Amino acid sequence: MDSKIKILTDKLEQAYLGGGSNRIEKQHQKKKLTARERVNYLLDDGSFEEIGILVTHRTTDFNMDKEVYYGDGVITGYGTINNRLTYVFAQDFTVFGGSLSETHAEKICKVMDLALKMGAPIVGLNDSGGARIQEGVRSLGGYADIFYKNVQSSGIIPQISAIMGPCAGGAVYSPAMTDFTMMVEQSSYMFVTGPNVVKTVTNEEVTSEALGGAHTHATKSGVAHTTSPNDVECLEAIKRLLSYLPQNNTRTADQLDFTFQDEIRDELRSIIPENANKPYDMHHVINGIIDTDSFFEIHKDYAENIIVGFARIGGRSIGIVANQPLFLAGVLDVNSSKKAARFTRFCDSFNIPLLVLVDVPGFLPGTDQEWNGIITNGAKLLYALSEATVPRVTLITRKAYGGAYDVMNSKHIGADMNFAWPSAEIAVMGAKGASEIIFKKDIQEAEDPIAKLAEKETEYADTFANPYRAASRGFIDEVILPQDSRRKLLKAFSMLEDKKVELPKRKHGNIPL
């Protein structure tokens, strides 16, 4: 019996040490944590319980039976993050390059099943060269199994993917179907086909970093929701992100202790410039409304004309969607519409109330936008907000023109409370453009057309470029002073806390994908 115990102990020790760790490259070791270090850092001290530590691959082809490592290149299990149950898997690049095999996939699927049964988030720490070639279709089937479980879990439990090394081919699609994809700068990349294939097929020469690095996906494709300079900061970002989220779609996010005090914010008085065409930073409005230092921005460097992210107001977790006048004057375009629609749908899936801050002059015009589907992409945001049943509150700070006014959580598409500052301009279009159309004949016949246009522009602005006509119709619930915004929003979200909506019975809607 003693000899059997010793054999088992030796196996466990070998498995815990990672099997193939002796083959790790020096450069790789300097830049990145090991898979086990990542898991231990992410989870609360001493909370990790590993599942499948003695699993090995079943392949005998190509002399694979001569290289067998316990765990088969992935660490799986569960623990707690800030005392909340969380499931995790971490691919080990030192074992067959972290490649996915049949048993590797089975281990991941097992913890995904447990996460779904228990209603707890799952975090995937991806560091893999892709499918294990020696296993052929079995590894491809393993990927498909994971994809299917991603879809079955979508909207039920939070799914977070951290790309902490290479992620190529079929490996990229599981992270793409999770709720958030986080990347590490200079050490991670994602692409369907690598630089060598690209060169062969298109004759383009491109590096892995330029093709699918963290910066590329954070700024150009929007695949990466956040980026971090190293593994540790990426893991910290995961912990912070989870703090805003509930365990599953039947729960709400934890509410922090809060005592209502004097909530007037004088710094909001002077944010809007006197010149209506001058930009300002919507981040200043956000920071003047939310709890101190509570904003966690998503997609910060992608489609910068709209801001999305999580924050707290009165200790409650909320999602924020806000036009950003500093970029493209805050217009809606293809990328910003997709960015805001996806974020909106996530918040609605997990019972996170939405605050929409509006300063939008319309949709971006031009052939590029029209040919790339601004109609259907703009409709995605319209659909997402119209579909959302969570508490929805809107604050118009300045411009709300044309169809973009409707899209940005107007009362007409089901918003619960709509506020506006006195500086708000709610109209079909800007005063100058509207005057040129409405008073075209008067201007042409005038002795001084320029002066006449200025006169009519002022007349139109006085009539329509304000929030009071909309308020008289009930489309705006209250015109409030900027400094009162936080106090009003605190009370609105508190009032809406127990909102319930019964939807018509249907399989699912048909969002214009």
d(Cα 19, Cα 35) in Å, to the nearest integer?
12
Per-residue pLDDT band at 24 (split at 50, 70, 90): very low
Catalytically active residues are: 169-170, 403-404
d(Cα 188, Cα 56) in Å, to the nearest integer?
26
The mean per-residue pLDDT over the stretch 39-53 comes to: 95
- Of 121-135, 149-163, 181-195, 441-455, the one with minimum mean pLDDT is 441-455
Q: What is the pLDDT, as a whole number, of residue 455?
A: 76
- What's the chain's Rg over C-alpha atoms? 26
Q: What is the pLDDT, as a whole number, of residue 60?
A: 61
Is the per-residue pLDDT at 326 higher than 50? yes
Torsional class of 222: left (φ above 0), alpha (ψ -120 to 50), beta (otherwise): left
Is the per-residue pLDDT at 69 higher than 80? no
Q: Which residue has the higher pLDDT, 177 or 24?
A: 177
Q: What is the pLDDT, as a whole number, of residue 464?
A: 73
Per-residue pLDDT band at 408 (split at 50, 70, 90): very high
Is-contact 354 493, C-beta < 8 A?
no
Q: Which residue has the higher pLDDT, 73 or 255?
A: 255
- Name the one residue in this structure whose structure tokens are 């989220």: 245
Per-residue pLDDT band at 27 (split at 50, 70, 90): very low
Q: What is the pLDDT, as a whole number, of residue 22?
A: 37
Q: What is the pLDDT, as a whole number, of residue 228?
A: 96
The mean per-residue pLDDT over the stretch 445-460 comes to: 77
What would the DSSP string read from start to end of 415-447? Answer: -SEEEE-TT-EEESS-HHHHHHHHTHHHHHHSS
Q: What is the pLDDT, as a whole number, of residue 436?
A: 76
Q: Which residue has the higher pLDDT, 407 or 431?
A: 407
Backbone torsions φ then ψ of 299, nearest 5 degrees: 55, 45
d(Cα 194, Cα 172) in Å, to the nearest integer?
12
Is the per-residue pLDDT at 66 higher than 70? no
Is the per-residue pLDDT at 71 higher than 50? yes
Q: What is the pLDDT, as a whole number, of residue 96?
A: 72
Q: What is the pLDDT, as a whole number, of residue 159?
A: 98
Q: What is the pLDDT, as a whole number, of residue 175?
A: 94
Q: What is the pLDDT, as a whole number, of residue 482?
A: 97
Is-contact 295 320, C-beta < 8 A?
yes
Instruction: Tell me the pTM.
Output: 0.90
Is the per-residue pLDDT at 30 higher than 50? no
Is-contact 155 173, C-beta < 8 A?
no
- Of 75-84, 328-337, 466-475, the one with minimum mean pLDDT is 466-475
Please name every residue paired with 76 in a beta bridge, in sequence order, or none if there are none: 51, 89
- Of 54-63, 251-260, 383-392, the one with minimum mean pLDDT is 54-63
Per-residue pLDDT band at 31 (split at 50, 70, 90): low
- Of 142-151, 213-222, 448-457, 503-512, the one with minimum mean pLDDT is 448-457
Mean residue pLDDT across the chain: 89
Q: What is the pLDDT, as a whole number, of residue 18?
A: 47
Structure confidence by residue, pLDDT tens digits, 113-171: 999 999 999 999 999 877 676 666 777 877 889 999 999 999 999 999 999 998 888 78
- The Cα-based distances of 128 to 230, 277, 509 in angstroms read 17, 49, 36
Is the per-residue pLDDT at 505 higher than 50? yes
Per-residue pLDDT band at 472 (split at 50, 70, 90): very high
